[in-house]
A and B are shown apart, each in its own frame.
Chain A
Amino acid sequence: MERNPIRRQLAIMRQSLFDQGHVDEQFVQLEELQDDANPNFVEEVVTLYYRDSARIILNIEQALERKPFDFRKLDAYMHQFKGSSSSIGAKKVKAESTLFRECCKSGNGEGCMRSFQQLKKEYATLRKKFGAYFQLARQAGPVETASRPK
């Protein structure tokens, strides 16, 4: 069937998301919630995540423009962001959030800036990958569950 190559490719894409550390086990949890009643659940959640987290990113950016840094506020924002990111299984983004928070806690303004830049990069990369993935998923139809990442 012509869907098979697509599905095959989808599976490969999915696996690479895991292998490259972009997503973790939590992503599988989302996938398992997807069913016939909600065939695009994962995509919906990720879309919601990007929409909502964009707001937080903006808040952090604005806060980083005010000197001196309000570390408490920055930390609070990042905590929020981290919670969101971890709930969709965005592994690298979550890791970077943790680093950012550590910089906040130690009052390391430079570290915060650097970490935030890195975080935005990861965030954007993941978004692209998700975009491609879900686009393919829609073409493929119901997604099979690939092997779990180690």
Chain B
Amino acid sequence: MNVSSVKGSMSISSSTSTWKAGDTISDQFPAGLRVLVVDDDPTCLMILEKMLTACLYKVTKCNRAETALSKLRENKNGYDIVLSDVHMPDMDGFKLLEHIGLEMDLPVIMMSADDGKQVVMKGVTHGACDYLIKPVRIEALKNIWQHVVRKRKNEWKEFEQSGSVEEGDRQPKQSDDADYSSSANEGNWKGSKRRKDEEEETDERDDTSTLKKPRVVWSVELHQQFVAAVNQLGIDTVPKKILELMNVPGLTRENVASHLQKYRLYLRRLSGVSQHQSNLSTIISAQDPTFGSLSSLSGLDLQTLAATGQLPAQSLARLQAAGLGRATAKSGIPITLVDQRNIFSFENPKLRFGEGQQQHMTNKQQVNLLHGIPTTMEAKQLVSLRHAAQSVGNMNMQVPPPGPQSSQNNPLLMQMGQQQQQQQSRGQILVDSTINHAPRLSSMGQPILSNGMATNVSSRNGIPENIRAPGYSQTPSMLNFPMNHASELPGNCFPLGSTPGVSNLTSKGAFQEDVNSEIKGSGGFMPSYDVFNDLNQHKPQSWELQNVGIAFDSSQHSNSLQGNLDLTQSALGQQGFSSGQMNGHNRSAAVASKAVFSTGDVKELRSAQNVNQHLNNLLVDNTIRVKSERVCDTSPANIFPDHFGQDDLMSALLKQQESVASSENEFDFDGYSMNNIPV
């Protein structure tokens, strides 16, 4: 990575600068920290406001969670931290926490007069940065800025790790330090942390390399085979049987097992979109870092891509933190995971699937799944991809979408990429494919995911991790469920024709085009699961495409996109996109993606967002956590990434890096040409 790229990396610096741009000047930090405080008790609210003002923060108060959420959604970059009461009449504080984590990825501090261990633990598992016991003293509030800094730092670190692990290029980190100097303590701890991270990364990398297996790309065809087998055997079947039935040479039981797990979550999410539990788990799974399993490149790439296009620099930083990082990087994904986990694991901190938290981390091997199909390109993945992309410095990876749209798409990606020029291209590749394939899905998927997530916040600690590994883009449900339209399912995503409620975006080839256009907004939400028309079954509300910020420009870019989807998708997409990404890790991505878009896109996004707002109002709010899950991009045409094993990607990325500036591909990859990637 070159320093310049690092400097140029929007995510990090932009996030920082965005934050700075708010009100704070770095040297005045933490003065001006933008705090949103939510408490239904007017007495407490008044006191808190006064205390926070006395700390020189910029305070916004809300007495209702709904109000707070809408404020946050309206102004995604307008706040640095949220303080929320646990017990509120209109919405449980943990639910709000979940939403915020999914959509905006802001640090959240919970407060309560309740100091019982259970409640505090709940805060932890749901992802709160801190838990304050009431009555809150001003001293406790004086230090809340640390959570903002910490989060940014982690995001940066994630980014770095994901980006540099493969390349083994630690230099950017140092430069990143320079960039990321807005935080108060930045310089010092960042540098040291970086170095520490590097060491960790190195270790991980070594381990990973020894354990690397050829990555399995769950192409559309492969997934179809899988689904057919599952349908025949029943969803409760065992991977072994599925494997035998599929009879695909080279496919291992483990591949099938992890894919099955994702699939199950995905189904659960679809069916229980209105039910929190199942959805959540699904989403979590979906979101689970496939990255993890994507082991690094794919996950990262996707994330990067997603991030690139979709996340404004700011969000990128967040995404990074989100832990996209690479599967290899412990800190990378885990952060994302952790966030997700925290968010979702309401009741049950245990890993659902019995996989340790580290699981996803070590899922590199499992990455093979969904490599090509960034279905689970959840925000995290996207984030990591983004990071990866950023580090690579070439965000313009675009999978050449077949057909005319490609030109459309490419510009989108280009835009995204350009912004992140310096970023790793790795992420791009994956993201591209993801984006290409599932723009629609992503937008749709998001809502669904958010739904699921919102609802399922429960326990699935373990799930996210599992899912992550394989980069299941199943989450696409969140992303790209074109709720009502669904007719065109991105071909890439799992053609879950039978999936209820999930509009299968598995569009046949056309999807790509749509995706491309959509990618714009969503930065590559790849509908991992084909959003079938069944989606209609799901109540649109369940989607809560609140922040489906995917800037679907379906009307413009994706001819193949169903008309009806266009507006909704774009609106949703934009929001969902951004929101999806916003989730946990994705927040930065979403934000970043927004920023990444070219002006034109931005406008679209904005308008889309406006539309989204309306749509959100229409849809059930809060249920959908739009997690920027970049659904895998399963468009057939863009599947070729599927064929890349991790190694391939790595080499491709490495190659890419060397030729960062060159956009030799027709696809506007910066030095990244799909053709060049050894399959």
Contact = CB atoms under 8 A, between A and B. Distances in A.
Interface of A: 26, 29-30, 32-33, 38, 41, 44-45, 48-49, 52-53, 76, 79-80, 82-84, 86-89
Most A CB within 10 A of own CB, among B41, B135, B138: B135
Contacts of A26: 135, 137
A84 B112 CA distance: 10
B46 A45 contact: yes
25 contacts: A30-B47, A33-B50, A33-B51, A33-B138, A38-B50, A44-B46, A45-B46, A48-B46, A52-B42, A79-B87, A79-B113, A79-B114, A80-B41, A82-B113, A83-B85, A83-B113, A83-B134, A84-B43, A84-B44, A86-B113, A86-B134, A87-B47, A87-B135, A88-B47, A88-B135
B54 interface: yes
Contacts of A29: 47, 51, 135, 137-138
Nearest to B133: A86
B44 A87 contact: yes
Q: Is the interface of A mostly helix, strand, loop or mixed?
A: helix
Interface in B291-336: none
A144 to B, nearest CB: 19
- Identify the 10 closest CB pairs spanning chains A and B, nearest first: A83-B113, A86-B135, A49-B43, A87-B135, A26-B135, A33-B50, A87-B44, A84-B43, A82-B113, A83-B134
Contacts of B137: 26, 29
Contact of A83 (B41, B46, B138): B41
Contacts of B136: 87
Contact of B87 (A38, A44, A48, A76): A76
A83 B112 CA distance: 7
A134 B54 CA distance: 23
B43 A45 contact: yes
Interface in B598-632: none
A86 B136 CA distance: 9
Contact of A52 (B43, B113, B135): B43
Nearest to A33: B50
Contact of A45 (B47, B114, B134, B138): B47
A53 B46 CA distance: 14
Contacts of A88: 43, 47, 135
A89 B113 CA distance: 13
Contacts of A49: 43
A24 to B, nearest CB: 9
A62 to B, nearest CB: 16
Given A38-B50, A53-B43, A87-B134, 13 more contacts: A29-B47, A29-B135, A30-B47, A33-B47, A33-B51, A44-B46, A45-B43, A49-B43, A52-B41, A79-B114, A83-B113, A83-B135, A87-B136
Given A41-B50, A80-B87, A32 B138 contact: yes
Among B46, B85, B137, B138, residue most surrounded by chain A Cβ atoms (within 10 Å): B46
A76 B89 CA distance: 10
Interface in B74-126: 85, 87, 112-114
A88 B45 CA distance: 11
A53 B43 CA distance: 9
Nearest to B54: A33
A48 B50 contact: no
A79 B47 CA distance: 18
B43 A89 contact: no
A77 to B, nearest CB: 11
A126 to B, nearest CB: 14
Contacts of B87: 76, 79-80, 83
A88 B114 CA distance: 16
Contacts of B114: 79
A5 to B, nearest CB: 30
Given A26-B135, A29-B137, A84 B50 contact: no
Contacts of B85: 83
B143 to A, nearest CB: 16
B141 to A, nearest CB: 10
Nearest to B134: A83
Nearest to B89: A80
A109 B94 CA distance: 30
Contacts of B134: 83, 86-87
A92 B112 CA distance: 19
Contacts of A80: 41, 87
Contacts of A33: 47, 50-51, 54, 138
Contacts of B44: 83-84, 87
Contacts of A87: 41, 43-44, 47, 134-136
Contacts of B47: 29-30, 33, 45, 87-88
Nearest to A34: B50
A49 B114 CA distance: 19
A31 B82 CA distance: 25
A33 B51 CA distance: 7
B46 to A, nearest CB: 6
B138 A89 contact: no
Nearest to A56: B41
A76 B41 CA distance: 13
A32 B41 CA distance: 21
